Structure 1
Amino acid sequence: MTQHPPILYSFRRCPYAMRARMALWTAGIKVILREVKLADKPPALFEASEKGTVPVLVSFDSPVLEESIDIMRWALAQNDPEGWLAGDDAELIERNDGPFKHHLDRYKYPSRYADEADGTDHRAEGLVILSDLDARLSGQAQLCGETRSLADIALFPFIRQFANTDRAWFDAQPLPHLQSWLESHLASDLFKSVMPKYVPWKAGDQPTIFGP
């Protein structure tokens, strides 16, 4: 029996889903894309993953993957044409997914947190982390060398989100290397390839194939 491609539950603007899609695309892995409407999540998503957050990857030859970084590493283990795994910097990724994401959420959505006034304190804390990345990029084009790698793609969607919260403010900060780095990823064919808009999936819909 022919097996169909893995199923990816995704949401276009979610930074976790973005980085998973970019890794799958670079690895050359086609998936059945199920775009999720966050306000009306399909029951099939919860059947695949009780936590009900995207991305989730369901395949026939491996356990369900419920974390974006696991999807990235799984995809690149199948095929890593650009050598991204050489830049699997756990410390950078953990700082991004932990402290930076904490400050990003409270800067971007202060009204969701009872103890937050306007998020400016968290913006300042996020800037400290971004300043470290800017210094790191002062001597090299990407976070782990001269070519993009897993660390760059893992961090990029979150830095994009931080920058877009107040783009005029971000552009005025002394982050020349990080700003150039961000613009190069925003302009990349890879990013453009994974950002088309899709109609939210419903059971019974014809499958949408995503991939190069």
Structure 2
Amino acid sequence: MTTQPPILYSFRRCPYAIRARLAIASSGQSVALREVVLKDKPAAMLQASPKATVPVLVLPDRVIDESRDIMRWALRQSDPHNWLCADDPDQLWQSEGLIQENDAVFKQHLDRYKYFERYPGHSQDYYRQQCEVTLGRLEQQLQQSAFLTGEHCCLADIAIFPFIRQFAHVDRTWFYSAPYPGLQRWLDYHLTSPLFLSVMKKYPRWEEGNAIIRFPK
């Protein structure tokens, strides 16, 4: 009898979904990928998670609908690249702090920078300057080490990278001319990594009755 894999509802460009897919792919876990359209979310996903945001991981015994928790679930099964820094609790603690700032502070300013027309209270430049508070902190760290918490890629790098990617894509000319050489190098490293390229493949929209798409293949 074939065991059905966990189901992952995802959206290709969503930074939260990207980091979940990166962790799943790194861990070697196999899931049934269901690519959704955010403007027309499938009923099965909404039933599994009324939050109605991606990613959503449906396991036999529970549903995980926070991207950070999906990352941890996958890496606790297998962490071949030691992203959880099992041998360095201080590095993991620092990593968690950086992720918290990204999710609670930077993402809010990033949304306003990217979609500034929806937030007429300030200019796009103003919202970018708010983002730069976090960018400056990351740059300071990347001037001292190859990755955000040291010389080893860890959970923070993988969790934050998709959001810096999104920020850079708003105005690539500005980003690559800004005084963030460490951040630019770090971003380019992740953008060209085989793992990232593998999780950004395009898949058709999932609909009820479709064949299972196993991820990673």
Fold equivalence (TM over 0.5): yes
RMSD in angstroms over aligned alpha carbons? Answer: 1.2
Match of 1:204 in 2: 209
Where 1:74 maps in the other structure, the secondary structure is helix
Match of 2:149 in 1: 144
- Distance in 2 separating the partners of 1:112 and 1:17: 23
Where 2:188 maps in the other structure, the secondary structure is helix
Matched, 1:194 2:199: yes
Out of 65, 70, 93, which is 2:99 matched to? 93
Structure 1: stretches of 5+ with no match in the other structure: none
The one-letter code matched in structure 1 to 2:141 is R
- Distance in 2 separating the partners of 1:98 and 1:170: 22
Match of 1:39 in 2: 39
The one-letter code matched in structure 2 to 1:63 is R
Deviations 1:147-170 (A, max 9, x none): 211100000000000011001011
Matched, 1:107 2:113: yes
Give, in angstroms, the shift of residue 114 of structure 1.
Answer: 4.6
Give, in angstroms, the shift of residue 64 of structure 1.
Answer: 0.4
Structure 2: stretches of 5+ with no match in the other structure: 86-90
Give, in angstroms, the shift of residue 2 of structure 1.
Answer: 3.7
The one-letter code matched in structure 1 to 2:67 is S
Deviations 1:46-70 (A, max 9, x none): 011011110000011x420000000
- Distance in 1 separating the partners of 2:207 and 2:118: 29
- Distance in 1 separating the partners of 2:16 and 2:118: 20
Match of 2:186 in 1: 181
Where 2:64 maps in the other structure, the secondary structure is coil
- Distance in 2 separating the partners of 1:199 and 1:162: 26
The one-letter code matched in structure 2 to 1:104 is L
- Distance in 1 separating the partners of 2:125 and 2:6: 41
Match of 2:79 in 1: 80
- Distance in 2 separating the partners of 1:164 and 1:114: 21
Give, in angstroms, the shift of residue 139 of structure 1.
Answer: 1.6
The one-letter code matched in structure 1 to 2:103 is D
Match of 1:64 in 2: 63
- Distance in 2 separating the partners of 1:119 and 1:74: 37
Where 1:34 maps in the other structure, the secondary structure is strand
Deviations 1:163-189 (A, max 9, x none): 110010111111011100000000000
Share of identical aligned residues, percent? 54
Give, in angstroms, the shift of residue 125 of structure 1.
Answer: 1.2
Where 1:33 maps in the other structure, the secondary structure is strand
Give, in angstroms, the shift of residue 3 of structure 1.
Answer: 2.3
TM-score, length of structure 1 as denominator length: 0.96
Where 1:94 maps in the other structure, the secondary structure is helix
Matched, 1:130 2:135: yes
Q: What number of residue pairs does the alignment pair up?
A: 210
Give, in angstroms, the shift of residue 119 of structure 1.
Answer: 2.0
